[in-house]
Structure 1
Amino acid sequence: MDSARLPADWPYRAAARHIRLSPHDWWVIDTGPRDGPVVLLLHGAGGSGHSFRALIPYLSDNYRVIVPDLPGQGCTRAGGMRRLGLDAMAEDLTRLCVTAGFAPQAAIGHSAGAAIALRMADLTPLKAIVGINAALGTFDGAAGVMFPLMARALAAAPFVGSAVARLWGNAASVSKLLSGTGSPLDAAGQAQYLTLVRDSAHVNGTLGMMSQWRLEGLMARLPSLAEPVLLIASDRDNAVPPKVSRDAVQHMPNATYAEITGFGHLVHEEAADRVAEALLPWLAARL
Protein backbone atom coordinates (compact mmCIF):
# COMPACT_ATOMS: atom_id res chain seq x y z
CA MET A 1 0.00 0.00 0.00
CA ASP A 2 1.22 3.48 -0.81
CA SER A 3 1.49 5.35 2.51
CA ALA A 4 0.22 8.48 0.75
CA ARG A 5 -3.11 6.70 0.31
CA LEU A 6 -3.58 5.92 4.00
CA PRO A 7 -6.71 7.43 5.55
CA ALA A 8 -5.97 10.65 7.42
CA ASP A 9 -6.95 9.02 10.72
CA TRP A 10 -4.79 5.90 10.25
CA PRO A 11 -3.31 5.01 13.66
CA TYR A 12 0.09 6.60 14.32
CA ARG A 13 0.43 7.80 10.74
CA ALA A 14 2.15 10.98 11.95
CA ALA A 15 4.72 8.97 13.94
CA ALA A 16 5.71 6.74 11.00
CA ARG A 17 8.29 7.13 8.26
CA HIS A 18 9.84 5.25 5.38
CA ILE A 19 13.24 3.64 5.84
CA ARG A 20 14.69 2.37 2.57
CA LEU A 21 17.01 -0.53 3.20
CA SER A 22 17.56 -3.20 0.58
CA PRO A 23 15.62 -5.24 -0.24
CA HIS A 24 12.59 -3.50 1.29
CA ASP A 25 11.12 -0.02 1.67
CA TRP A 26 10.01 -0.16 5.30
CA TRP A 27 7.18 1.77 6.94
CA VAL A 28 8.00 2.15 10.64
CA ILE A 29 6.16 3.74 13.55
CA ASP A 30 8.66 5.27 16.00
CA THR A 31 7.16 6.72 19.16
CA GLY A 32 7.91 7.15 22.86
CA PRO A 33 10.96 8.60 24.60
CA ARG A 34 14.14 8.38 22.52
CA ASP A 35 16.21 7.52 25.59
CA GLY A 36 13.89 4.75 26.77
CA PRO A 37 14.49 1.03 26.33
CA VAL A 38 13.50 0.01 22.81
CA VAL A 39 10.58 -2.38 22.35
CA LEU A 40 9.92 -3.84 18.90
CA LEU A 41 6.30 -4.73 18.04
CA LEU A 42 5.64 -7.24 15.23
CA HIS A 43 2.17 -7.73 13.81
CA GLY A 44 0.69 -10.94 12.49
CA ALA A 45 0.06 -12.09 8.92
CA GLY A 46 -2.68 -10.15 7.20
CA GLY A 47 -2.33 -7.17 9.53
CA SER A 48 -0.08 -4.14 9.85
CA GLY A 49 1.48 -2.07 12.60
CA HIS A 50 -1.89 -0.39 13.10
CA SER A 51 -3.02 -3.49 15.00
CA PHE A 52 -1.02 -2.29 18.04
CA ARG A 53 -2.83 1.07 18.12
CA ALA A 54 -4.52 0.34 21.46
CA LEU A 55 -1.46 -1.24 23.11
CA ILE A 56 1.13 1.39 22.13
CA PRO A 57 -0.13 4.01 24.65
CA TYR A 58 0.51 1.57 27.50
CA LEU A 59 4.14 1.20 26.40
CA SER A 60 5.11 4.60 25.02
CA ASP A 61 5.35 6.44 28.35
CA ASN A 62 8.39 4.41 29.37
CA TYR A 63 9.65 2.71 26.21
CA ARG A 64 10.68 3.76 22.73
CA VAL A 65 8.24 1.76 20.64
CA ILE A 66 9.23 0.65 17.14
CA VAL A 67 6.48 -0.87 14.97
CA PRO A 68 7.37 -1.85 11.38
CA ASP A 69 4.89 -3.13 8.85
CA LEU A 70 6.18 -6.52 7.73
CA PRO A 71 7.56 -6.82 4.18
CA GLY A 72 4.80 -6.75 1.58
CA GLN A 73 2.13 -5.88 4.14
CA GLY A 74 0.68 -2.56 5.18
CA CYS A 75 2.89 0.19 3.76
CA THR A 76 6.19 -1.72 3.65
CA ARG A 77 6.97 -2.42 0.01
CA ALA A 78 8.76 -5.75 -0.41
CA GLY A 79 11.76 -5.88 -2.70
CA GLY A 80 10.47 -8.93 -4.51
CA MET A 81 8.62 -11.93 -3.16
CA ARG A 82 11.51 -14.20 -2.14
CA ARG A 83 12.16 -12.88 1.36
CA LEU A 84 8.75 -13.22 2.98
CA GLY A 85 9.37 -16.37 5.02
CA LEU A 86 10.16 -16.62 8.73
CA ASP A 87 13.96 -16.74 8.53
CA ALA A 88 14.23 -14.07 5.84
CA MET A 89 11.93 -11.66 7.69
CA ALA A 90 13.84 -12.14 10.94
CA GLU A 91 17.12 -11.47 9.16
CA ASP A 92 15.81 -8.39 7.35
CA LEU A 93 14.20 -6.98 10.51
CA THR A 94 17.47 -7.47 12.38
CA ARG A 95 19.31 -5.62 9.62
CA LEU A 96 16.73 -2.83 9.79
CA CYS A 97 17.21 -2.45 13.55
CA VAL A 98 21.01 -2.42 13.28
CA THR A 99 21.09 0.07 10.40
CA ALA A 100 18.50 2.41 11.92
CA GLY A 101 20.12 2.20 15.37
CA PHE A 102 17.03 0.91 17.16
CA ALA A 103 18.76 -1.83 19.28
CA PRO A 104 15.60 -3.45 20.68
CA GLN A 105 15.82 -4.89 24.16
CA ALA A 106 12.46 -6.64 23.87
CA ALA A 107 10.32 -7.92 21.02
CA ILE A 108 6.56 -8.35 21.28
CA GLY A 109 4.84 -10.25 18.49
CA HIS A 110 1.24 -11.07 17.74
CA SER A 111 0.40 -14.37 16.05
CA ALA A 112 3.01 -14.98 13.31
CA GLY A 113 4.86 -11.91 14.59
CA ALA A 114 5.59 -13.85 17.78
CA ALA A 115 7.38 -16.55 15.77
CA ILE A 116 9.47 -13.84 14.09
CA ALA A 117 10.32 -12.35 17.49
CA LEU A 118 11.47 -15.75 18.76
CA ARG A 119 13.54 -16.28 15.61
CA MET A 120 15.18 -12.86 16.05
CA ALA A 121 16.53 -13.98 19.43
CA ASP A 122 19.07 -16.05 17.46
CA LEU A 123 20.20 -12.95 15.57
CA THR A 124 20.21 -10.05 18.02
CA PRO A 125 20.49 -9.79 21.83
CA LEU A 126 17.05 -9.54 23.44
CA LYS A 127 16.28 -9.36 27.14
CA ALA A 128 12.64 -10.35 26.76
CA ILE A 129 10.27 -11.84 24.17
CA VAL A 130 6.48 -11.72 24.34
CA GLY A 131 4.03 -13.60 22.15
CA ILE A 132 0.35 -12.67 22.01
CA ASN A 133 -1.68 -15.60 20.67
CA ALA A 134 1.56 -16.85 19.17
CA ALA A 135 1.18 -18.82 15.92
CA LEU A 136 3.54 -21.64 16.82
CA GLY A 137 1.56 -24.44 15.27
CA THR A 138 0.03 -24.81 11.83
CA PHE A 139 -0.30 -21.49 10.04
CA ASP A 140 -3.55 -20.10 11.34
CA GLY A 141 -4.00 -16.57 12.64
CA ALA A 142 -6.06 -13.88 10.92
CA ALA A 143 -4.53 -14.73 7.55
CA GLY A 144 -5.35 -18.39 8.00
CA VAL A 145 -8.99 -17.48 8.38
CA MET A 146 -8.89 -15.01 5.49
CA PHE A 147 -7.13 -17.33 3.04
CA PRO A 148 -7.44 -21.12 2.76
CA LEU A 149 -4.66 -23.65 2.69
CA MET A 150 -4.31 -23.14 -1.07
CA ALA A 151 -2.15 -20.09 -0.26
CA ARG A 152 1.01 -21.63 -1.71
CA ALA A 153 -0.64 -22.25 -5.05
CA LEU A 154 -2.44 -18.92 -5.01
CA ALA A 155 0.73 -16.98 -4.24
CA ALA A 156 2.27 -18.26 -7.46
CA ALA A 157 -0.72 -17.29 -9.61
CA PRO A 158 -0.66 -13.98 -11.45
CA PHE A 159 -3.13 -11.26 -10.43
CA VAL A 160 -4.35 -13.26 -7.43
CA GLY A 161 -3.96 -10.30 -5.08
CA SER A 162 -6.30 -8.19 -7.17
CA ALA A 163 -8.83 -11.02 -7.37
CA VAL A 164 -8.83 -11.65 -3.61
CA ALA A 165 -9.04 -7.92 -2.89
CA ARG A 166 -12.11 -7.66 -5.12
CA LEU A 167 -13.69 -10.78 -3.63
CA TRP A 168 -13.10 -9.98 0.05
CA GLY A 169 -12.78 -6.21 -0.07
CA ASN A 170 -16.22 -5.37 1.26
CA ALA A 171 -17.49 -4.60 4.73
CA ALA A 172 -19.62 -7.73 5.10
CA SER A 173 -16.78 -10.09 4.20
CA VAL A 174 -14.27 -8.38 6.51
CA SER A 175 -16.78 -8.43 9.36
CA LYS A 176 -17.34 -12.15 8.84
CA LEU A 177 -13.61 -12.86 8.63
CA LEU A 178 -12.80 -10.97 11.82
CA SER A 179 -15.68 -12.61 13.68
CA GLY A 180 -14.20 -15.94 12.62
CA THR A 181 -11.08 -15.18 14.66
CA GLY A 182 -13.19 -14.62 17.77
CA SER A 183 -12.51 -10.86 17.58
CA PRO A 184 -15.30 -9.02 15.74
CA LEU A 185 -13.80 -5.58 16.56
CA ASP A 186 -15.63 -2.27 16.54
CA ALA A 187 -16.54 -0.28 13.44
CA ALA A 188 -13.23 1.60 13.35
CA GLY A 189 -11.20 -1.60 13.64
CA GLN A 190 -13.21 -3.27 10.90
CA ALA A 191 -12.73 -0.26 8.62
CA GLN A 192 -8.95 -0.43 9.07
CA TYR A 193 -8.82 -4.09 8.06
CA LEU A 194 -11.11 -3.32 5.13
CA THR A 195 -8.52 -0.78 3.94
CA LEU A 196 -5.86 -3.51 4.02
CA VAL A 197 -7.94 -6.22 2.38
CA ARG A 198 -8.85 -3.89 -0.49
CA ASP A 199 -5.15 -3.39 -1.31
CA SER A 200 -3.90 -6.01 -3.75
CA ALA A 201 -0.22 -5.48 -2.84
CA HIS A 202 -1.03 -6.19 0.83
CA VAL A 203 -2.93 -9.33 -0.14
CA ASN A 204 -0.03 -10.51 -2.30
CA GLY A 205 2.42 -9.89 0.54
CA THR A 206 0.28 -11.85 2.97
CA LEU A 207 -0.09 -14.78 0.60
CA GLY A 208 3.63 -14.67 -0.12
CA MET A 209 4.39 -14.87 3.60
CA MET A 210 2.05 -17.83 4.03
CA SER A 211 3.49 -19.65 1.04
CA GLN A 212 7.04 -19.42 2.43
CA TRP A 213 6.21 -20.05 6.09
CA ARG A 214 8.19 -22.83 7.76
CA LEU A 215 8.27 -23.34 11.53
CA GLU A 216 10.25 -26.57 11.84
CA GLY A 217 13.62 -24.92 12.41
CA LEU A 218 12.30 -22.51 15.02
CA MET A 219 10.41 -25.22 16.91
CA ALA A 220 13.54 -27.38 17.02
CA ARG A 221 15.48 -24.49 18.60
CA LEU A 222 12.96 -23.62 21.30
CA PRO A 223 14.50 -25.95 23.96
CA SER A 224 17.78 -24.02 23.71
CA LEU A 225 16.21 -20.55 23.86
CA ALA A 226 17.60 -19.01 27.05
CA GLU A 227 15.86 -15.63 26.86
CA PRO A 228 12.82 -14.98 29.08
CA VAL A 229 9.59 -15.56 27.16
CA LEU A 230 6.01 -14.66 28.05
CA LEU A 231 3.23 -16.21 25.97
CA ILE A 232 -0.17 -14.57 26.40
CA ALA A 233 -3.19 -16.41 25.00
CA SER A 234 -6.91 -15.68 24.96
CA ASP A 235 -9.51 -18.34 25.55
CA ARG A 236 -11.86 -17.39 22.68
CA ASP A 237 -9.18 -17.40 20.00
CA ASN A 238 -10.63 -19.40 17.10
CA ALA A 239 -7.48 -19.02 15.00
CA VAL A 240 -4.69 -20.03 17.39
CA PRO A 241 -6.18 -21.94 20.35
CA PRO A 242 -4.60 -21.35 23.78
CA LYS A 243 -3.31 -24.92 23.74
CA VAL A 244 -0.69 -23.83 21.17
CA SER A 245 0.90 -21.43 23.66
CA ARG A 246 0.50 -23.78 26.61
CA ASP A 247 2.31 -26.51 24.70
CA ALA A 248 5.07 -24.17 23.46
CA VAL A 249 5.85 -23.00 27.00
CA GLN A 250 6.65 -26.59 27.94
CA HIS A 251 9.44 -26.64 25.35
CA MET A 252 11.25 -23.50 26.51
CA PRO A 253 13.44 -23.36 29.62
CA ASN A 254 12.53 -19.80 30.68
CA ALA A 255 8.94 -19.33 29.54
CA THR A 256 5.78 -18.17 31.32
CA TYR A 257 2.16 -18.58 30.25
CA ALA A 258 -0.71 -16.17 30.91
CA GLU A 259 -4.31 -16.50 29.73
CA ILE A 260 -6.90 -13.78 29.20
CA THR A 261 -10.56 -14.80 29.25
CA GLY A 262 -13.38 -13.44 27.15
CA PHE A 263 -11.54 -12.37 24.01
CA GLY A 264 -10.37 -13.72 20.67
CA HIS A 265 -7.33 -13.74 18.43
CA LEU A 266 -7.03 -9.95 18.27
CA VAL A 267 -7.11 -9.51 22.04
CA HIS A 268 -4.50 -6.72 21.87
CA GLU A 269 -6.99 -4.74 19.80
CA GLU A 270 -10.11 -5.69 21.77
CA ALA A 271 -8.72 -5.46 25.30
CA ALA A 272 -5.32 -3.75 25.33
CA ASP A 273 -5.78 -2.96 29.02
CA ARG A 274 -5.95 -6.69 29.84
CA VAL A 275 -2.89 -7.41 27.73
CA ALA A 276 -1.02 -4.54 29.40
CA GLU A 277 -1.97 -5.89 32.81
CA ALA A 278 -0.28 -9.19 32.00
CA LEU A 279 2.58 -7.68 30.05
CA LEU A 280 3.85 -4.54 31.76
CA PRO A 281 4.97 -5.90 35.18
CA TRP A 282 6.69 -8.86 33.50
CA LEU A 283 8.45 -6.57 31.02
CA ALA A 284 9.50 -4.00 33.63
CA ALA A 285 11.17 -6.73 35.69
CA ARG A 286 13.41 -7.65 32.75
CA LEU A 287 14.32 -4.33 31.17
Structure 2
Amino acid sequence: MGAADTLTAWPHAKHSRFVDVRPHHWHVQELGQGDSILLLHGASGSTHSWRDVMTNLARDYHVIAIDLPGHGQTRLGSRHRSSLPLMAQDVQSLIDHEGWALKAILAHSAGAALGLRILQGSHLDIPLIAVNPALTPFKGFAGVLFPIAARVIALSPVMAKMIKRRMAGPGQVVSMMETTGSKISPEGLNLYAKLFRSDAHLDGTLLMMAQWKLDGLVSDLPRIDVPCTFLVGENDKAVPPSSVRDSAKKMPKAKTISFEGYGHLLHEEAPDLVAGQLRDALRKYT
Protein backbone atom coordinates (compact mmCIF):
# COMPACT_ATOMS: atom_id res chain seq x y z
CA MET A 1 0.00 0.00 0.00
CA GLY A 2 1.56 3.27 -1.11
CA ALA A 3 0.77 6.94 -0.67
CA ALA A 4 -1.54 6.81 -3.66
CA ASP A 5 -3.83 4.38 -1.82
CA THR A 6 -4.19 6.81 1.06
CA LEU A 7 -4.87 9.77 -1.21
CA THR A 8 -7.42 8.07 -3.44
CA ALA A 9 -8.97 4.94 -1.98
CA TRP A 10 -8.37 4.92 1.77
CA PRO A 11 -11.23 5.88 4.11
CA HIS A 12 -11.22 9.62 4.91
CA ALA A 13 -8.25 10.09 2.57
CA LYS A 14 -9.09 13.77 2.04
CA HIS A 15 -8.52 14.29 5.75
CA SER A 16 -5.08 12.67 5.71
CA ARG A 17 -1.85 14.53 6.27
CA PHE A 18 1.70 13.62 7.17
CA VAL A 19 3.76 15.01 10.04
CA ASP A 20 7.46 14.58 10.74
CA VAL A 21 8.03 14.29 14.48
CA ARG A 22 11.18 12.43 15.32
CA PRO A 23 11.80 9.69 14.77
CA HIS A 24 8.74 8.85 12.63
CA HIS A 25 6.87 10.14 9.57
CA TRP A 26 3.31 10.09 10.92
CA HIS A 27 0.01 9.60 9.11
CA VAL A 28 -2.73 11.64 10.79
CA GLN A 29 -6.42 12.06 10.00
CA GLU A 30 -8.57 14.79 11.55
CA LEU A 31 -12.31 15.32 11.22
CA GLY A 32 -14.86 17.58 12.87
CA GLN A 33 -14.71 20.35 15.44
CA GLY A 34 -15.06 20.56 19.20
CA ASP A 35 -13.32 18.71 22.00
CA SER A 36 -10.43 16.58 20.74
CA ILE A 37 -10.63 12.79 20.89
CA LEU A 38 -7.57 10.68 20.02
CA LEU A 39 -8.19 7.26 18.44
CA LEU A 40 -5.55 4.53 18.78
CA HIS A 41 -5.84 1.31 16.77
CA GLY A 42 -4.37 -2.04 17.81
CA ALA A 43 -1.49 -4.14 16.52
CA SER A 44 -1.73 -4.79 12.75
CA GLY A 45 -4.51 -2.19 12.39
CA SER A 46 -4.63 1.34 11.00
CA THR A 47 -6.89 4.40 10.89
CA HIS A 48 -9.23 2.50 8.57
CA SER A 49 -10.60 0.46 11.47
CA TRP A 50 -12.12 3.65 12.95
CA ARG A 51 -13.64 4.89 9.67
CA ASP A 52 -17.31 4.68 10.69
CA VAL A 53 -16.70 5.62 14.32
CA MET A 54 -14.90 8.74 13.06
CA THR A 55 -17.82 9.75 10.84
CA ASN A 56 -20.20 9.45 13.80
CA LEU A 57 -18.03 11.27 16.35
CA ALA A 58 -17.08 14.06 13.95
CA ARG A 59 -20.64 15.41 14.30
CA ASP A 60 -19.72 16.67 17.79
CA TYR A 61 -15.97 16.33 18.26
CA HIS A 62 -12.58 17.03 16.76
CA VAL A 63 -11.59 13.43 15.98
CA ILE A 64 -7.92 12.54 15.55
CA ALA A 65 -6.84 9.13 14.26
CA ILE A 66 -3.21 8.17 13.78
CA ASP A 67 -1.39 5.20 12.33
CA LEU A 68 0.95 3.80 14.96
CA PRO A 69 4.67 3.60 14.11
CA GLY A 70 5.27 1.15 11.28
CA HIS A 71 1.54 0.65 10.71
CA GLY A 72 -0.53 1.82 7.77
CA GLN A 73 1.04 4.96 6.36
CA THR A 74 3.24 5.92 9.34
CA ARG A 75 6.83 5.28 8.34
CA LEU A 76 9.19 4.00 11.01
CA GLY A 77 12.16 6.25 11.77
CA SER A 78 13.69 3.66 14.10
CA ARG A 79 13.38 -0.11 14.27
CA HIS A 80 14.13 -0.04 17.99
CA ARG A 81 11.22 2.04 19.30
CA SER A 82 8.24 -0.31 18.92
CA SER A 83 8.04 -1.27 22.60
CA LEU A 84 5.17 -0.02 24.75
CA PRO A 85 7.10 2.64 26.73
CA LEU A 86 8.97 4.01 23.70
CA MET A 87 5.89 4.06 21.48
CA ALA A 88 4.05 5.93 24.25
CA GLN A 89 6.86 8.49 24.35
CA ASP A 90 6.75 8.93 20.57
CA VAL A 91 2.96 9.34 20.44
CA GLN A 92 3.20 11.87 23.27
CA SER A 93 5.82 13.78 21.25
CA LEU A 94 3.35 13.91 18.35
CA ILE A 95 0.57 15.14 20.66
CA ASP A 96 2.85 17.86 22.05
CA HIS A 97 4.06 18.88 18.59
CA GLU A 98 0.51 19.25 17.29
CA GLY A 99 -0.77 20.94 20.45
CA TRP A 100 -3.75 18.63 20.78
CA ALA A 101 -5.67 19.34 23.99
CA LEU A 102 -7.26 15.93 24.41
CA LYS A 103 -10.53 15.32 26.23
CA ALA A 104 -10.49 11.53 25.87
CA ILE A 105 -8.70 8.62 24.25
CA LEU A 106 -10.62 5.91 22.42
CA ALA A 107 -8.48 2.83 21.86
CA HIS A 108 -8.68 -0.73 20.60
CA SER A 109 -6.84 -3.85 21.80
CA ALA A 110 -3.09 -3.10 22.19
CA GLY A 111 -3.90 0.58 21.63
CA ALA A 112 -5.52 0.54 25.09
CA ALA A 113 -2.21 -0.36 26.75
CA LEU A 114 -0.64 2.48 24.81
CA GLY A 115 -3.39 4.87 25.87
CA LEU A 116 -2.94 3.94 29.53
CA ARG A 117 0.80 4.58 29.38
CA ILE A 118 0.28 7.92 27.63
CA LEU A 119 -2.24 9.10 30.23
CA GLN A 120 -0.18 7.75 33.09
CA GLY A 121 2.92 9.56 31.83
CA SER A 122 1.21 12.85 31.00
CA HIS A 123 -0.93 12.93 34.19
CA LEU A 124 -3.88 14.10 32.10
CA ASP A 125 -7.17 13.74 33.97
CA ILE A 126 -9.20 12.48 31.02
CA PRO A 127 -10.96 9.16 30.41
CA LEU A 128 -9.87 6.17 28.36
CA ILE A 129 -12.60 4.29 26.52
CA ALA A 130 -11.21 0.99 25.27
CA VAL A 131 -12.65 -1.64 22.94
CA ASN A 132 -11.55 -5.15 23.96
CA PRO A 133 -8.34 -3.87 25.60
CA ALA A 134 -5.32 -6.19 25.45
CA LEU A 135 -3.71 -5.48 28.83
CA THR A 136 -2.28 -8.88 29.72
CA PRO A 137 0.48 -10.95 28.08
CA PHE A 138 0.03 -14.37 26.55
CA LYS A 139 0.25 -17.13 29.14
CA GLY A 140 2.45 -20.22 29.28
CA PHE A 141 4.70 -21.21 26.41
CA ALA A 142 2.95 -18.76 24.08
CA GLY A 143 4.09 -15.89 26.27
CA VAL A 144 7.69 -16.94 25.76
CA LEU A 145 7.67 -18.28 22.22
CA PHE A 146 5.44 -15.74 20.48
CA PRO A 147 7.70 -12.69 21.02
CA ILE A 148 10.76 -14.76 20.09
CA ALA A 149 9.10 -15.97 16.89
CA ALA A 150 8.03 -12.43 15.99
CA ARG A 151 11.57 -11.19 16.62
CA VAL A 152 13.09 -13.88 14.39
CA ILE A 153 10.61 -13.16 11.59
CA ALA A 154 11.11 -9.39 11.90
CA LEU A 155 14.87 -9.85 11.49
CA SER A 156 14.60 -12.31 8.60
CA PRO A 157 13.59 -10.83 5.22
CA VAL A 158 13.02 -14.31 3.80
CA MET A 159 10.64 -15.36 6.57
CA ALA A 160 8.88 -12.00 6.46
CA LYS A 161 8.22 -12.48 2.73
CA MET A 162 6.83 -15.96 3.39
CA ILE A 163 4.45 -14.57 6.02
CA LYS A 164 3.46 -11.73 3.69
CA ARG A 165 2.61 -14.15 0.86
CA ARG A 166 0.53 -16.23 3.25
CA MET A 167 -1.36 -13.21 4.63
CA ALA A 168 -2.04 -11.82 1.15
CA GLY A 169 -3.28 -15.15 -0.20
CA PRO A 170 -6.87 -15.64 -1.46
CA GLY A 171 -9.26 -16.15 1.40
CA GLN A 172 -6.57 -15.66 4.02
CA VAL A 173 -7.97 -12.33 5.24
CA VAL A 174 -11.39 -13.93 5.74
CA SER A 175 -9.78 -16.73 7.75
CA MET A 176 -7.84 -14.26 9.90
CA MET A 177 -10.92 -12.18 10.58
CA GLU A 178 -12.77 -15.30 11.70
CA THR A 179 -10.17 -15.75 14.45
CA THR A 180 -11.32 -12.42 15.93
CA GLY A 181 -14.89 -13.59 16.47
CA SER A 182 -16.12 -10.61 14.45
CA LYS A 183 -18.08 -10.39 11.22
CA ILE A 184 -17.11 -7.31 9.25
CA SER A 185 -18.27 -5.92 5.91
CA PRO A 186 -16.77 -6.78 2.52
CA GLU A 187 -15.38 -3.23 2.48
CA GLY A 188 -13.59 -3.90 5.75
CA LEU A 189 -12.18 -7.20 4.47
CA ASN A 190 -10.90 -5.48 1.34
CA LEU A 191 -9.19 -2.77 3.38
CA TYR A 192 -7.43 -5.35 5.56
CA ALA A 193 -6.36 -7.21 2.40
CA LYS A 194 -4.76 -4.01 1.07
CA LEU A 195 -3.09 -3.39 4.41
CA PHE A 196 -1.64 -6.90 4.64
CA ARG A 197 -0.09 -6.58 1.17
CA SER A 198 2.16 -3.80 2.48
CA ASP A 199 5.72 -4.91 3.28
CA ALA A 200 6.23 -1.89 5.53
CA HIS A 201 3.04 -2.57 7.48
CA LEU A 202 3.91 -6.22 7.98
CA ASP A 203 7.40 -5.25 9.13
CA GLY A 204 6.02 -2.68 11.58
CA THR A 205 3.50 -5.15 12.98
CA LEU A 206 6.14 -7.82 13.54
CA LEU A 207 8.49 -5.35 15.22
CA MET A 208 5.71 -4.27 17.58
CA MET A 209 4.89 -7.88 18.45
CA ALA A 210 8.58 -8.67 19.01
CA GLN A 211 9.18 -5.70 21.32
CA TRP A 212 5.82 -5.46 23.10
CA LYS A 213 5.92 -6.49 26.77
CA LEU A 214 3.03 -5.98 29.20
CA ASP A 215 4.45 -7.29 32.48
CA GLY A 216 5.26 -3.81 33.77
CA LEU A 217 1.81 -2.53 32.88
CA VAL A 218 0.14 -5.48 34.62
CA SER A 219 2.03 -4.78 37.85
CA ASP A 220 1.11 -1.09 37.63
CA LEU A 221 -2.65 -1.59 37.10
CA PRO A 222 -3.60 -1.11 40.80
CA ARG A 223 -1.84 2.27 40.75
CA ILE A 224 -3.26 3.57 37.47
CA ASP A 225 -6.16 5.84 38.43
CA VAL A 226 -7.15 6.78 34.89
CA PRO A 227 -10.97 6.66 34.56
CA CYS A 228 -11.57 3.75 32.18
CA THR A 229 -14.55 2.23 30.42
CA PHE A 230 -13.80 -1.13 28.81
CA LEU A 231 -16.21 -2.24 26.08
CA VAL A 232 -16.16 -6.03 25.83
CA GLY A 233 -17.38 -8.09 22.89
CA GLU A 234 -18.37 -11.38 24.50
CA ASN A 235 -17.54 -13.26 21.29
CA ASP A 236 -13.96 -11.95 21.24
CA LYS A 237 -11.66 -14.84 20.34
CA ALA A 238 -8.45 -12.77 20.39
CA VAL A 239 -8.59 -11.20 23.87
CA PRO A 240 -10.52 -13.29 26.41
CA PRO A 241 -13.34 -11.21 27.91
CA SER A 242 -12.47 -12.68 31.31
CA SER A 243 -8.97 -11.16 31.08
CA VAL A 244 -10.47 -7.71 30.48
CA ARG A 245 -12.73 -8.05 33.52
CA ASP A 246 -9.81 -9.25 35.63
CA SER A 247 -7.75 -6.22 34.59
CA ALA A 248 -10.60 -3.83 35.39
CA LYS A 249 -11.00 -5.33 38.88
CA LYS A 250 -7.38 -4.47 39.65
CA MET A 251 -7.82 -0.81 38.66
CA PRO A 252 -9.35 1.81 40.97
CA LYS A 253 -11.40 3.60 38.27
CA ALA A 254 -12.17 1.01 35.62
CA LYS A 255 -15.46 -0.61 34.66
CA THR A 256 -16.53 -3.03 31.95
CA ILE A 257 -19.62 -3.04 29.75
CA SER A 258 -20.36 -6.28 27.89
CA PHE A 259 -22.01 -6.75 24.51
CA GLU A 260 -23.25 -10.15 23.41
CA GLY A 261 -22.69 -11.31 19.85
CA TYR A 262 -19.73 -9.07 19.02
CA GLY A 263 -16.08 -10.00 18.66
CA HIS A 264 -12.67 -8.37 18.85
CA LEU A 265 -13.51 -5.82 16.15
CA LEU A 266 -16.58 -4.52 17.97
CA HIS A 267 -15.85 -0.96 16.77
CA GLU A 268 -16.10 -2.12 13.14
CA GLU A 269 -19.14 -4.30 13.68
CA ALA A 270 -21.09 -1.69 15.68
CA PRO A 271 -19.47 1.74 15.20
CA ASP A 272 -22.53 3.71 16.33
CA LEU A 273 -22.73 1.68 19.52
CA VAL A 274 -19.06 2.42 20.32
CA ALA A 275 -19.47 6.10 19.49
CA GLY A 276 -22.51 6.24 21.75
CA GLN A 277 -20.57 4.66 24.60
CA LEU A 278 -17.85 7.29 24.26
CA ARG A 279 -20.45 10.05 24.41
CA ASP A 280 -21.98 8.48 27.52
CA ALA A 281 -18.58 8.20 29.19
CA LEU A 282 -17.77 11.83 28.50
CA ARG A 283 -21.15 13.01 29.77
CA LYS A 284 -20.69 11.10 33.00
CA TYR A 285 -17.12 12.27 33.40
CA THR A 286 -17.82 15.95 32.78
Shorter-chain TM-score range: over 0.9
Alignment of 1:1-287 (within 5 A): 1-6=1-6, 8-33=8-33, 36-124=34-122, 125-138=124-137, 150-287=149-286
Q: Is the Cα–Cα contact under 8 Å of residues 232 and 245 in structure 1 kept in the other structure? A: no
**Structure (1/2) with the larger helix percentage:** 2
Report deviation, 1:172: 0.2
**Counterpart AA for 2:64:** I
Report deviation, 1:95: 0.5
**Matches of 1:114 and 1:233 in 2, distance apart?**
13
Report deviation, 1:272: 1.2
Q: Is the Cα–Cα contact under 8 Å of residues 164 and 200 in structure 1 kept in the other structure? A: no
| Aligned length, in residue pairs | 280
**Matches of 2:62 and 2:138 in 1, distance apart?**
30
**Matches of 2:43 and 2:202 in 1, distance apart?**
10
Q: Which runs of 5+ in 2 are unaligned?
A: none
**Matches of 1:197 and 1:190 in 2, distance apart?**
11
**Counterpart AA for 2:183:** P
The alignment's TM-score, normalised by the length of structure 1, stands at 0.92
**Counterpart AA for 1:3:** A
The alignment's TM-score, normalised by the length of structure 2, stands at 0.92
**Matches of 1:164 and 1:5 in 2, distance apart?**
22
Report deviation, 1:179: 0.9
Question: How high is the sequence identity, in percent, across the aligned residues?
Answer: 39
The 10-residue stretch of structure 1 (69-78 or 59-68) with the greater mean CA deviation from structure 2 = 59-68
- How large is the RMSD of aligned CA atoms in angstroms? 1.9
Report deviation, 1:118: 0.6
Q: Is the Cα–Cα contact under 8 Å of residues 260 and 274 in structure 1 kept in the other structure? A: no
Q: Is the Cα–Cα contact under 8 Å of residues 147 and 211 in structure 2 kept in the other structure? A: no
**Matches of 1:202 and 1:182 in 2, distance apart?**
23
Q: Which runs of 5+ in 1 are unaligned?
A: none
Q: Is the Cα–Cα contact under 8 Å of residues 106 and 278 in structure 2 kept in the other structure? A: no
Report deviation, 1:7: 7.0
**Matches of 1:160 and 1:24 in 2, distance apart?**
25
Report deviation, 1:166: 1.6
Which SS does the other structure have where 1:218 is aligned? helix
The 10-residue stretch of structure 1 (224-233 or 92-101) with the greater mean CA deviation from structure 2 = 224-233
